[in-house]
Amino acid sequence: MIHLKLAWHGVTHHKQEYGPFLLASIVLIAINFIFWNVSLNKTLKAMAFGDATIEITKVAIVFISLISLFLMFYANSFLIKQRGEELGLYNMIGLSNSDLRWILTLETALLYAISLIAGLISGFAFLKLAFLILQKLLTLKQSLDHFELYAVYTTAMIFALIFLALLFYNFYRVHTNDPIHLWNQSFKGEREPKSKKTLAVLGVVILAWGYWISVKTKPNATAFTGFVLAVILVVLGTYLLFIVGSIVLLKVLKKQKKIYYKPNHFIAISGMLFRMKQNGAGLASICLLCTSILVTMVGTLSLYVGENKLINSWNPYDIMFTTEKRLTSKQQRTINETASKYNISLSKKKQITMTTPSAGSIKKDKFETNNIMNATLQLSSLTLADYNSIQGTNIKLKKQQILLYDVSSKFNKKHITIRGQRYQVKKINNFKFAFNYQHAIVQPIFVVAADKSICSAINPQPEMVVSGFNIGGTKTNQLRFANSLQKNMKLSNETYTAAPIFRNLFQSLFGSLLFIGSLVSITLIFATALILYYKQLSEGYADRKRFQTMQQVGLSQKETKEAIRSQVLLVFMLPIVGAAIHFVFCIPMLKNILSLFSMYNTKILAGVSIVTLFVLAGGYLCIYFLTTKVYQELVNKK
């Protein structure tokens, strides 16, 4: 009974510490619960591309579970440090270690019960909303709203395991501490950290290397490896710089007597110097969390917003396919028959002959063929006559003149050298048959030459015929037509592309990516807020005595406030500024990755980036004001 009482006392008398812990576990449980419901949803499973959504959700579940584990451990290590004093006291006045274990067990059970019940209730409450949003994002007609009992079970199990792990960790902590040690834990004297210049320089070098890779990597098949390497380097560099670099910087500042011996700097620099040793890692984590929120949101939002552009760039005509020769009348008939079967109207039927694209890249004003791994482009050529008849234009070209169309309109030179021959370039802004051959990850580029011989001089690949037409009819019929046409015409996936199929795929793919990206971002934001809150709380405790002494010696309330503000602001600004810088250097990389999805629109990326950055900074500022208040209260508490 006494154990239960002490456990209850422990939780209810440390609201400031346990409150956020509970809030975080409730949110995490609710999000886990929602994710499990999505991954188990039967309606989704029965849909054509529902599998994609479910697979993405499963990845997200693993990610969220890991974040939960990490976050709960972080919060717990803070809690057990604070509780150490109290448990030491219990131990001193005669409670045995097994009594302490009992108290901890009851406490953990209590916390688990509260978080699970509240988490599931809020999960239920938001499930309807979540499904509604997902339905909108996937543009589905039927409702997804369905609750799975199994989701309750798995969520409860995952968190039971996490809480159990926390409990054993706390047992270990209590076990390894003798009472005197327990008692003194909260006020240990610490040495001033050493300045490790070499490591700091290494941090700068590693970070710069990561940035350099991000900026320099070309959008080809190896881009993904570069991306992973850049991420690893940036993570490493960030930790090194925050942990070691910050101390080096503060020490340099401390040596500048004119800067150091100013009231605000004096308090902030000396305080931070000791703080950074323990908090460098925490701040680096916050910085990386913010960066990943930015990248996730910008990536998923850009895909979602740019969906139509992507479909148009892949499918300037609703249905497109390539064949070796011009369509036979039999093939024409098949198309017409399939169309009438599904009540589909056909319009703007066009055929064009061009050379089969060859992979390569443009260096300065020279096109070089590469193997597909290093290629960033695929170049195809067609005759001026074909071009004029498709576009309805009447352009004339000399032998050394070409028309050039590239989707991203990056090329802006007056001349280009292809296969040793120099041509004068006229750029065109519109080409109705600009399509992505074989849905390649490289960007298509089209060259229009005066006649056939120049065409094959530019690209000596065999000719192919590209056919395209638009279709009209109901959405369902369009999809059915697109699917059965491919079958009837015996076209392979590489040679056939249909807008209805892509629209369907992209809507479920990008919609679910955005849905899950947002939920993951919310979780990350909570993680950031929680880490910041506990950081502020522990600093408030550590600084209370410091500021009280300074007030006695002559620091006024107003100056205290200012000193706290400048110190807290510095701590807060570091990660978000770091995240913004990371993000800026990540943009070229992000652009490359997106262009693998044939997204070449920089405007969308820029717009989405700016909006996301502002929203994140706004939320971050809110957390700042809230936690600063807690900190001030703690410091001024007598």
Please report, as ranges, the residues that interact with another protein according to CB under 8 A. 189-192, 257-258, 261-263, 266, 270-271, 273-274, 546, 549-559
Alpha carbon distance 498, 487 (integer Å): 13
Q: How far apart are the first and last CA of the chain?
A: 34
196 conformational bin, left if phi > 0, alpha if psi -120 to 50, beta if neither: beta
Output the smallest distance, CB 549 to another protein, in A: 4
The nearer residue to another protein, 150 or 261, going by C-beta atoms, is: 261
Residue 303 in contact with residue 599, Cβ under 8 Å?
Answer: yes
Give every strand in the sheet of 345-355, ordered side by side: 345-355, 463-472, 319-323, 496-498
Alpha carbon distance 13, 28 (integer Å): 24
Residue type, 559: E
Return phi, psi of residue 261, to 5°.
Answer: -85, 50
Output the smallest distance, CB 262 to another protein, in A: 7
Exposure on the CB side of residue 118, measured as CA atoms within 13 A: 15
Output the smallest distance, CB 244 to another protein, in A: 19
The nearer residue to another protein, 262 or 439, going by C-beta atoms, is: 262
- Nearest one of 38, 51, 504, 593 to 303, comparing CA atoms: 593
DSSP one-letter string for 60-108: HHHHHHHHHHHHHHHHHHHHHHHHHHHHHHHHHTT--HHHHHHHHHHHH
Residue 447 in contact with residue 418, Cβ under 8 Å?
Answer: yes
Return phi, psi of residue 400, to 5°.
Answer: -90, 5
The nearer residue to another protein, 98 or 552, going by C-beta atoms, is: 552
The nearer residue to another protein, 554 or 618, going by C-beta atoms, is: 554
The nearer residue to another protein, 560 or 601, going by C-beta atoms, is: 560
Output the smallest distance, CB 562 to another protein, in A: 12
Residue 127 in contact with residue 37, Cβ under 8 Å?
Answer: yes
Output the smallest distance, CB 509 to another protein, in A: 53
- Nearest one of 318, 331, 442, 422 to 380, comparing CA atoms: 442
Output the smallest distance, CB 32 to another protein, in A: 41
The nearer residue to another protein, 258 or 396, going by C-beta atoms, is: 258
The nearer residue to another protein, 249 or 305, going by C-beta atoms, is: 249
Output the smallest distance, CB 180 to another protein, in A: 18
Torsion sign across C-alpha atoms 464, 470, 475, 480: negative
Torsion sign across C-alpha atoms 337, 343, 347, 351: negative
Output the smallest distance, CB 571 to another protein, in A: 15
Output the smallest distance, CB 184 to another protein, in A: 13
Output the smallest distance, CB 510 to another protein, in A: 51
Alpha carbon distance 368, 361 (integer Å): 5
The nearer residue to another protein, 209 or 266, going by C-beta atoms, is: 266
The nearer residue to another protein, 237 or 540, going by C-beta atoms, is: 540
Those residues with Cβ within 8 angstroms of residue 519's Cβ, 6 or more apart along the chain or in another chain: 31, 34, 35, 60, 64, 130
Residue 354 in contact with residue 466, Cβ under 8 Å?
Answer: yes
- Nearest one of 303, 441, 445, 298 to 382, comparing CA atoms: 445
The nearer residue to another protein, 277 or 480, going by C-beta atoms, is: 277
Do the strands 421-427 and 463-472 form a parallel or antiparallel pair, or are they unpaired?
unpaired
SS3 633: helix
Alpha carbon distance 401, 4 (integer Å): 88
Output the smallest distance, CB 271 to another protein, in A: 6
The nearer residue to another protein, 181 or 262, going by C-beta atoms, is: 262
Residue 598 in contact with residue 435, Cβ under 8 Å?
Answer: no
Output the smallest distance, CB 542 to another protein, in A: 9
The nearer residue to another protein, 371 or 557, going by C-beta atoms, is: 557
The nearer residue to another protein, 271 or 357, going by C-beta atoms, is: 271
Output the smallest distance, CB 569 to another protein, in A: 19
Output the smallest distance, CB 556 to another protein, in A: 3
The nearer residue to another protein, 442 or 563, going by C-beta atoms, is: 563
Exposure on the CB side of residue 4, measured as CA atoms within 13 A: 1
